[in-house]
Amino acid sequence: MLTTVNLTKFGLHLSFRGLIFPPKNILTRIKINYVKQSIKGMTSNVADDTTRPPRRMLRDAMPAELFGVIPQLADLVKLRPRPEEDGLGFLARLRASTTPEEAVTYTAFAALPGAATGWGYECLRLMADHLQPQERQMMQHIATWLAEPTTRQRHDIMREALWAPTRSPSVLLALAVGWSSGGPAPNDPERSPVHKTPVALNSAVLSCLARAQLSRRSYYLARFLDMAEALFRAY
């Protein structure tokens, strides 16, 4: 059984049911509750110490700006955003295009590394019956890191991924984790280039999608993009 990652720390509540590993037929229900922030300027007689603003999940750049900030995105996504188009609108256009897989790519680049890797993990977990038995341990390590991220554990995940014999979806996701923040190794403290995590994450999700039968790919892709849309709406 693969662990469900608690994404409430990103300001997003995702409830998944029926994801016992490995399932025969995956039926996922996603319940999304948005955390509402108090409007600036409003006053209250009662102070609520438990209220916290939702954690940012997307990069600050608008879609058109993001293509300029991370040029590798333009190499992977053919459709171009319109001037002043927001992320949710561009995601919807990508999803409705002839190449909806590009919506996966855009999400990998638009989301901040922490939220992006959490989303990628849930995409792979949704396709748990398409993962090889040897991938389970890596997925568990990633789940543990997502729940309580530490530099040491991230380095351990990166080392395991670099020594893996194949670049499976779980290994690609592990590489995305390794490059997500700070240096990828104790003796390499320099922060990784910004495109490394989204490129690896995009490869992880799409290579896992390719394992499904052709008749089922649209189903899984729709579920991936439902979760992606939740990230954009919560932002």
Torsion of Cα atoms, 30 then 118 then 65 then 192, to 10°: -170
Residue 28 is predicted with a pLDDT of 31
Q: What percent of the chain has pLDDT over 90?
A: 69
> Where does the pLDDT of residue 200 fall: very low under 50, low under 70, confident under 90, or very high at 90 and above?
very high
pLDDT above 60 (res 7): no
Confidence of residue 202 (pLDDT cuts 50, 70, 90): very high
Q: pTM above 0.95?
A: no
The predicted-structure confidence for 87-101, as pLDDT tens digits, reads as follows 999 999 999 999 999
Residue 128 has pLDDT above 90, yes or no: yes
Q: Which residues contact 214 (CB under 8 A, 6 or more apart)?
A: none
Residues 6+ apart with CB under 8 A from 164: 138, 171, 174
In this model, does residue 114 exceed pLDDT 50? yes
> What pLDDT score was predicted for residue 23?
32
Residue 3's pLDDT band (boundaries 50, 70, 90)?
low
Structure confidence by residue, pLDDT tens digits, 26-78: 223 322 222 222 223 322 333 333 444 456 789 989 999 999 999 999 999 99
Give me the pLDDT at residue 105, please. Answer: 98
| Average pLDDT score over the chain | 81
CB 77 within 8 A of CB 53: no
Residue 186: pLDDT above 50? yes
- Which pLDDT band holds residue 129 (cuts at 50, 70, 90)? very high
Indicate the domain borders of the chain.
8-34+112-234
In tens, the pLDDT along 131-176 reads: 999 999 999 999 999 999 999 999 999 999 999 999 999 999 999 9
User: Where residue 2 falls among pLDDT bands split at 50, 70, 90?
Assistant: low
The residues, any chain, with a CB within 8 Å of residue 209's CB and separated by 6 or more, are 101, 104, 127, 217, 220, 221, 224
Burial class (CB in 10 A: 0-12, 13-18, 19+), 216: middle
